[in-house]
Amino acid sequence: MITLPQYPNLYLIDHPLIKRDLSILRKKKTSNVVFRTVLFRLTKMIAYEVASNLKLTESDIETPLEKTKGYQLKEDIILVPILRAGLGMADGFLDLLPDAKVGHVGLYRNEETLEPVDYYSKFPRNLKDSLVFLLDPMLATGGSASAAISFIKQKGGRKVRLVNLVAAPEGVDKVSREHDDVAIFAAHLDRGLNENGFILPGLGDAGDRVFGTE
């Protein structure tokens, strides 16, 4: 993973297959079907990378031949996709972390103020002791992610990692400023935001492209 001195909380995942798949998602001609399929594949690779420093516990196990040491994940994991677009990342994570519980937080951006508006939230028990992966393909102004992290913390969550496909510097700054305990993982740090708060070059509106509502 790549880190940059000006964004100490940001971890950029660097892998040729991730670059290839992100390019497919960026293309405007990519259909909804292909977008969903590639998003699933790409998210699995991101989950694999993000899981690389999970803690393990050891226990004795028996192979058909003899005893040896086995390993289990130490921490309970909760995935929290930010509705809607984050839903497109949940299955990729669940494929690699099938024991994870899933919480939901529903936020949309008021398109004039760009402020997040919450419309739904439901979290599993044991938020306090679990490691939370907050999922959203896009980190633009950072308003949605920062509000979602605040919700999770209000409900008792203490260990949160944010996982994005594309992040804008503005969003990284905001989340880092408001939640300096939260590591941000992204497949790419994009150039910035346009006057409508869209990420450039970005990939358009991920929620619309996942669900065909554009």
Q: Which is nearer to ligand PRP, 130 or 146 (CB)?
A: 146
Q: Indicate whether 13 belongs to the interface with ligand PRP (CB under 6 A).
A: no
Question: What residues form DSSP beta bridges with 104?
Answer: 122
Q: Indicate whether 136 belongs to the interface with ligand PRP (CB under 6 A).
A: yes
What residues contact residue 190 under an 8 Å CB cut-off, 6+ apart? 166, 167, 168, 199, 200, 201, 202
| Closest-approach residue to ligand PRP (CB) | 207
CA distances from 182 to 35, 115, 185 (A): 28, 21, 10
CB of 85 to ligand PRP, least distance (A): 3
Q: Indicate whether 159 belongs to the interface with ligand PRP (CB under 6 A).
A: no
CB of 68 to ligand PRP, least distance (A): 44
User: Judged by CB under 6 A, which of 80, 139, 149, 160 binds ligand PRP?
Assistant: 139
CA distances from 208 to 42, 191, 205 (A): 18, 22, 5
CB of 89 to ligand PRP, least distance (A): 10
What angle is formed at CA 103 by the lines to CA 141 and CA 54, rounded to 5 degrees? 85
Q: Which is nearer to ligand PRP, 50 or 184 (CB)?
A: 184
- Please tell me the distance from the alpha carbon of residue 153 to that of residue 36, in angstroms, as a whole number: 30
User: Judged by CB under 6 A, which of 76, 95, 118, 205 binds ligand PRP?
Assistant: 205
What binding mask, one character per residue, do residues 65-104 give for ligand PRP by CB under 6 A, x or -?
A: -----------------x-xx-------------------
Q: Is 156 helix (H, G, I), strand (E, B) or coil?
A: coil
- Omega within 30 of 0 (cis) for the link into 20: no
Q: Footprint of ligand PRP on this chain (CB under 6 A)? A: 82, 84-85, 107-109, 114, 116, 136-145, 171, 197, 205-208
